[in-house]
Structure 1
Amino acid sequence: MNTKMPRTSEKQKIINFLIEQAAFDILLQDDEASFWEIMENLNEELIITLSNYRGSFQQVPKSLEWRTTILPQLDEYRFQQMLRVTRDQFTFILSLIRNNIEFNKSHSVRQYSVDHQLAIVLFRLGSSGENAAIRKIASVFGVGDGETIYKITKRVFQAFLELKSKYIYWPDAAERQEIVKNTYNEMPHCIGYIDGTELKLAEAPVKNHTTYFSKSRIYSIKAQVVCDHQLKIRHVVVGHYGSVHDARMFRTSTLCTEEDNFFSFDQWLAGDSAYPLLKTIITPYRSNSQQLDYARRKAFNLRHSRFRVRIEHCFGLLKERFGSLKELRVRIQDEKSHNFCSTWFLVCCILHNILRTPSHDVDYMYNVLEDDEELDELTMNEIGQNSSQAESKRSYLCALMLGD
């Protein structure tokens, strides 16, 4: 027989605290006037608490006029440091989501203004370390530190997800040909740059934590991104466990399983040595390669690395603007929280593309970290690393690049 007592709600905790405090104050008083004053105050506090949908045991000062009394007072530099976007960018992003149904649903509790909610989420996406703590964000923006911030984040995320197809899409045949034309003198027929990245988790997941433990010896979720020569993100795969190899992510992605829908003619992506050599992914020559001579292999690798590094630049910009991606402070305890982390990264990618438009782009300083992780033997065999067609294509591209 289950003898567990029912869980006390946060609102009930507040009510119990108010009653206990009032009883304690009465014991310290010895006149009737003070008694009735204490009871009157208790009555007012109980009315306020019971009229709210949800109480907050840790009282956070509310700032309902935050958007009119605080945000406008920030100079441009502080505004950008706080929200990671300029005022013009903020206004533009706000115009994209303001009329979303998520902010116009019928709720029993009145929502904060859309600009207030957007500011909270942008601050959260751009914060790392202690700045990302829920209580600190609640204090800065004058909102509750219970589920309020989670609900606001979920609501704004959903609004951005509905913009995904508009801002993250694979170039059609005509656009791919235009990319080839603009970059032909760099690497002929290359239409993008591919790589994987890790989203470090601040703490170990509650379940199956070993599957999240990566070769970098951290708990993480993996993502795979393709960007073009303008550092615009064209394809995203996110949600694999940290222990999954980059090549395995690629093998299960539509880029591999449906390659005819993504490439035409001699088009290809530039990838590092963590990827297999394929007709659609060209990697640098390995140190033990027997193809061509050493000088030509080295020349090809230098040219390849010079332009492939654009995907590292893309990751650098993404993680420097949205500092939360350096270490996600989300506790993964089930599929829902795992998917929330994946959505977090995807929303950052959507915002990245929104802000890559010429009139809204502001670059951030960043460090490029090269990852030359080698393919494991099993993955090489699965995908067919020693493809003669892929080798022939790389030799052909090498001749085009080196002028032979």
Structure 2
Amino acid sequence: MMRKKLLLMGFSGSIGKQTLDLLKEDDEYELVGIAANTSYYEVDQILDSFPSITSVAFSGLSSYENSRVKNIYLGDNALLKMIEDNKGAVILNALVGIAGLAITVKAIENNSEVLLANKESLVIGGDLIKKLLIEHPKASIFPIDSEHSALQKLICCEKESIEKLVITCSGGALRDVPLENLKNIKAEEVLAHPNWQMGKRITIDCATLVNKAFEVIEAHYLFDTSLDNIEVLMHDESQIHSLVFLKDNSMLAEIGPSDMRIPISYALYKKRMKKKCFKNFKITDLHFRKMDLKRYPLFNKIINWYNECHANMAIINAADEEAIKAFVQDKISFIDIEYVIEETLRKTKVIEINNLEDILNLSLEASNVANNIISNLIK
């Protein structure tokens, strides 16, 4: 059997590393390219495990040499050039933030299959992506997020009977911290997620529920479902990943360990696989709670801002990225994250979005506005 060629975008992050774990047990894919921002020091170790790699790309480096690699791509357009030179390869997009949007766009224009862990591609560029998929019917997107992967499986079981999609949510590391203490919370406390090992931004977004608002919007695009038919259920243990409500008032759910290698595997192989690296699982007591909108005010606000104008999402995402950077650097407080997002949205002029360049320009403008707001907070 001819092996599929795979490009891994974001090899140094949490999803990238877990993908590499899976591929070590694999005989279906040939990993031919890896990409990141600047993490060059990890390349040689990866090459030892994957001698099939012929291409390496770094968007944040202007110089890099490695005699073991045939093709090296550097600079702003490095990742796009690597995709262009590897037509027919499957693209696993594990980049964080708006950096992943251009990758998804380029992959679709190349008629590639995209395994998508970069939620911003759809949250910010959903309308553009939807249009491009119509123009390039050979291209496709398959989700990697645990919640969307679970929904994909559940929808396949009962597509004609589904009334509502339900995405679960742990509530993050601060779900039991008294509200009056949130302003004094430090980054290391927010990063101590009770269930998942993830990158800094998504872990902090779990504590504000920005990530859950993003996941609802992402599900709206992935499954062509009205936002009114997508709910969020607080679930402490993160063992139920998603549910579907059916016409007869029954429910289906996927229950499993907090292990991202399982949804990554499902995206790669389109079926359930047995892998040695998967976590062992034993079901525990399951606990649920109502959404506390005083604790998580940004959730409803973001959904409402999206409904008002889809272009708002580029502004919200940019402001969130800058606010989280400032919080991690101890420049602003945890509760200032909400303030930075709201003020950036208020002060940034929304433009009409017609293409990728419009989205990137709006995002850049919002980042500049957010940084000005952060500077004033520091003063």
Q: Which fold has the larger relative contact order, with Cα–Cα distance below 8 Å and residues 6 or more apart in sequence?
A: 1
More helix by share: 1
Structure possessing the higher radius of gyration over alpha carbons: 1
Report the TM-score, using the length of structure 2 for normalisation: 0.26
Report the TM-score, using the length of structure 1 for normalisation: 0.25
More strand by share: 2
